[in-house]
Amino acid sequence: MSDITAQSHHHIDVREFHPRAHAAIHNPKIRQNFRKAMDGLMAKRKAAFEGWDLETLRDLGANIRLKALSNLPDLLEQLEQKLTENGIKVHWAVDGDEACRIVRDICMARDAKTVIKGKSMVSEEMELNHYLQDQGIEALESDLGEYIVQLADETPSHIIMPAIHKNTGEISELMHEKTGTDLSNDVEYLTASARQQLREKFMNADVGVSGVNFAVAETGTLCLVENEGNGRMTTTVPPCHIAVTGIEKVVPSLEDVSALLALLTRSATGQHITTYFNMISSPRKGEELDGPEEVHVVLVDNGRSSIYQDDELLDTLRCIRCGACMNHCPVYTRVGGHTYGTTYPGPIGKILMPHLIGLDEGRHLPTASSLCGACGEVCPVKIPIPDLLVRLRQESVDGDRLHPAKVRGHGAKRSTGEALIWKGWAWMHASPGIYRLGTGVAAKFRALQPSKAGAWTDYRTAPKLAAKTLHQRMKERGQ
């Protein structure tokens, strides 16, 4: 593992995208781990949707998410009311820091010293683990992938499979070094060892923290998708459960969940359904034998309501966090998740993170795409990811006087030199006479064409100018 790709997230500068990409591309292990994993995930997704009318289902998924978003403020109020009626305490956080403080305050009120965590990308946004640690509260990840990433003091490299950048051998070495397990390539042995260590932690944890996949407004139900049972343990064994979620995860009714769930699990891991699907609707009731005595929900904004203000950017919030866009992304497959230096990597990260960190820090993110459209094609809720990338490119160079940029940090990538080049380019291509003259002269003196053309010719030969342009040849034909 190279130091650059594996560094802990305390020191990551998102702007250093290129050096990290360089390191990843020249790291055969990274390349191989991602290629193999992504090929597998693509094949599984394809098989899982076989026989389904996928386009109709994606339309349905997109419509459900759009409907929910168009009604978001009302749905959130309804959700708060239902959750409260169900005995779940609701908290609102404007950003990650406030969300962290809320979790800390709940822990402190209970004199909690240990927290066990289920998988939650919002808690990664909040950087909750490090915050709690600084407050003297131990936070342990219980999702196997997250557990591995935490042992390595790394961040997740994929939103569904956090440790996908590591192969079995690397995981074995890590667990041996940090927890004393035997070196072994036996996945069952490694899993059983982790399971045993985690089991004790579950029994002793004071608080369980989880994410949320869907929050149902009509019934006040929190839905949680998982495969390892750690989500159920996290939300039922400790006496207090805190669910953290982005405000966009709310859907109107349970009926909406079935279509989204069908899309989510198939798109993510190619599963028809996950091993566990948890529906949490209240703390333990008087006569019940298990379940937490306290349940809290922290509804986190963290930039989402500003995305919500724009009719086009709003589509970003449709996301149900399946990860299919990264599984199918040729750039993500080459550079891996850590190269992005952001909580969410890959295509969804490129359109979401600029809102969370600003376009000044995230200036390279929207450009790191060939706009091939594979992400938009597989997105289960039809987020037009390539269009949003183009929109953010426009924002990052303040490139449209008709539609002024509005994302925080816009214009950070505009340089006088590049702006001038495009101005000159536009002048030439908006003046057909000049264009024909210029291309005609270039064709005539093509022998003088340089064989080097910047970064292009580091990998390829330069395209060769033709002796006559198509304009000239069509004119000769009388056309």
Partner 1 sequence: MSDPIKVYPSKPQKVYYFGTCLVDMFYPDAGIAGVELLEREGIEVIFPQGQTCCGQPAYTSGYHDEARSVARAQLDLFPEDWPIVVPSGSCGGMMRKHYPSLFKDTPEATQAAEIAGRVWELTDFLLNVCHIKLEDLGEPVTVAMHTSCSARREMGVAEVGPALLGQLKNVNLVEQVRPEECCGFGGTFAVRHPEISGAMVEEKVGTLVDTGAREFVTTDCGCLMNIAGYAEKNGKPIQGQHILSFLWERTRGNTGGQS
Where does 28-135 have alpha helices with state H? 28-48, 54-70, 72-85, 96-109, 121-126, 128-134
Does 390 contact partner 1 by CB under 8 A? Answer: yes
Looking at 37, 237, 369, 408, which residue binds partner 1 (CB under 8 A)?
A: 369
The span from the CA of 62 to the CA of 260, in Å, is: 9
- Kindly give, in sequence order, each residue whose CB lies less than 8 Å from that of residue 262, ignoring residues fewer than 6 positions away: 57
Provide the minimum distance between the beta carbon of 95 and partner 1 in the complex, in angstroms, as a whole number: 28
Q: By CB under 8 A, what part of segment 80-109 binds partner 1?
A: none
User: Within its chain, how far is the Cα of 114 from the centroid?
Assistant: 28
Nearer to partner 1, 221 or 369 (CB): 369
Nearer to partner 1, 19 or 229 (CB): 19
Give, rounded to a whole angstrom, the gap between the first and last alpha carbons of the chain.
60
Binding-site size for partner 1 (CB under 8 A) equals 74
Q: Which residue has the tokens 């390279």?
A: 364
Based on its alpha-carbon atoms, the radius of gyration of the chain, rounded to whole angstroms, reads 25
User: Within its chain, how far is the Cα of 95 from the centroid?
Assistant: 17
Nearer to partner 1, 292 or 376 (CB): 376
Nearer to partner 1, 147 or 332 (CB): 332
CA quadruple 351, 356, 358, 364: dihedral sign? negative
Provide the minimum distance between the beta carbon of 327 and partner 1 in the complex, in angstroms, as a whole number: 12
Looking at 3, 50, 55, 200, which residue binds partner 1 (CB under 8 A)?
A: 55
Nearest Cα residue to 127 out of 106, 104, 105, 148: 104
Does 8 contact partner 1 by CB under 8 A? Answer: no
Q: What is the β-pairing status of strands 114-117 and 138-141?
A: parallel
Q: By CB under 8 A, what part of segment 393-422 binds partner 1?
A: 393-397, 399-403, 413, 419, 422
Looking at 239, 334, 360, 444, which residue binds partner 1 (CB under 8 A)?
A: 334
Nearer to partner 1, 10 or 477 (CB): 477
**What backbone phi and psi angles, to 5 degrees, belong to 91?**
-125, 150
Structure tokens at 464: 């060769």
Which segment (19-27, 89-97, 251-259, 314-322) binds partner 1 by CB under 8 A? 19-27
Q: Tell me if 303 sits within 8 A of 357, measured CB to CB.
A: no
Task: Name residue 77's amino acid.
Answer: E
Q: By CB under 8 A, what part of segment 424-463 binds partner 1?
A: 425-426, 428-432, 435-436, 439, 442-443, 454-463
Nearer to partner 1, 84 or 457 (CB): 457
Which segment (56-64, 123-131, 169-177, 281-289) binds partner 1 by CB under 8 A? 56-64
Strand partners, 91: 298
Does 376 contact partner 1 by CB under 8 A? Answer: yes
Nearer to partner 1, 52 or 456 (CB): 456
Which segment (142-150, 204-212, 295-303, 329-337) binds partner 1 by CB under 8 A? 329-337
Binding mask 240-259 for partner 1 (x = CB under 8 A): --------------------
Looking at 52, 370, 415, 437, which residue binds partner 1 (CB under 8 A)?
A: 370
Strand partners, 116: 140, 208
Burial class of residue 205 (count of CB atoms within 10 Å of its CB; 0-12, 13-18, 19+) = buried
Provide the minimum distance between the beta carbon of 391 and partner 1 in the complex, in angstroms, as a whole number: 9
- Angstrom CA distances, 192 to 117, 160, 189, 342, stand at 18, 21, 5, 31
Looking at 153, 423, 441, 445, which residue binds partner 1 (CB under 8 A)?
A: 423
Provide the minimum distance between the beta carbon of 312 and partner 1 in the complex, in angstroms, as a whole number: 9
Provide the minimum distance between the beta carbon of 22 and partner 1 in the complex, in angstroms, as a whole number: 6
- Angstrom CA distances, 58 to 29, 39, 228, stand at 35, 22, 27
Burial code (b: 16+ CB inside 10 Å, e: under 16) for 422-456 equals eeeeeeeeeeeeeeeeebeeebeeeeeeeeeeeee
Which segment (183-191, 270-278, 343-351, 373-381) binds partner 1 by CB under 8 A? 373-381
Nearer to partner 1, 196 or 449 (CB): 449
SS3 of residue 93 by DSSP = strand
